[in-house]
Amino acid sequence: MSRLHEAAKDFNPPSDFVRPTWGVESFKREMAKLERYYERFLSEEGWKLYQDAAEKVVSQLTTMHPSEHNYGLIHADLHTGNMVFEDNQPYPIDFGRCGYGYYLYDMAGTILELWPKHRWMLIQGYESIRKLETDYIRDLECFFVMFMIENCCHHASDPRETTSLIEEQKYAQAYIREYLNGNPFLFEVIEPVNVD
C-alpha cells in the first residue's frame, strides 16, 4: 500500500482524467442512501448510533487538512479480495473506486478486515516506506468507522445482503460505540454487543 501511494504521488494525470473524491460529500451521499434502507437491518436505536457516528466522522473530517504527504490518488477498495500475488509480491486489482482521498482512508479499508495484531503489522510495514504523522491513530479510527458505515450503505439496497448486514451489526455497533465514547479500538479485540 505504501508503494502504491508513493507511485500515485508521482502520477501525472492526463487532462481528461476524472475520478471521484472520497470525503465529506461522498460520505453524506452514502448516509442519505442508507436512510432509505436502514430499517432492513437496523433498529431505530441502531440507526441513531449510526447517525451519531456519521456526525462525528463529518465533524472530524472537516478539521483535517489535506497535504501532499497525507492526501492524493488512492485505490479506495484495497481489501484482500482485490490483491493478487506473484512471486510472493502483492499486486492491487480492481481500481473501480480509485479516486482522491486521504491515504489513511485507503488504509482503513484494508485494516477493516484484519485482526488487531495484523493491523499493527500492516502499519509497521507501511511506515517502513512512508512515515505516518505522529497523531495518525485518531484519524485512522475515524476513517475506519467511515469505511465500515460506507460498506453498509453500499450493500443496504440489495435485499440479498440483509442477512449478512444483520449478522455484522454486533461487531459494527461495538466499534461505533467505542468510537463515540472516544475509546481507542484499532489494536484491541472488541467484544461484540447485543443488538435488537
Burial of 191 (0-12, 13-18, 19+ CB in 10 A): exposed
pTM, rounded to two decimals: 0.95
Burial of 30 (0-12, 13-18, 19+ CB in 10 A): buried
Q: How far apart are CA 1 and CA 140, in angstroms?
A: 15
Q: How far apart are CA 22 and CA 19, in angstroms?
A: 10
3-state secondary structure of 56: helix
Burial of 22 (0-12, 13-18, 19+ CB in 10 A): buried
Per-residue model confidence (pLDDT) at position 90: 87
Rounded to 5 degrees, what are φ and ψ at 17? -80, 115
> Band of the pLDDT at 54, cuts 50, 70, 90?
very high
3-state secondary structure of 171: helix
DSSP 123: H
Assess whether pLDDT exceeds 80 at residue 196: no
Assess whether pLDDT exceeds 80 at residue 179: yes
Average pLDDT of the chain to the nearest whole number: 95
Per-residue model confidence (pLDDT) at position 61: 98
Per-residue model confidence (pLDDT) at position 9: 86
How many other CB atoms are there within 10 angstroms of residue 94's CB atom? 14
Residue with cell 448516509: 31
> Band of the pLDDT at 195, cuts 50, 70, 90?
confident
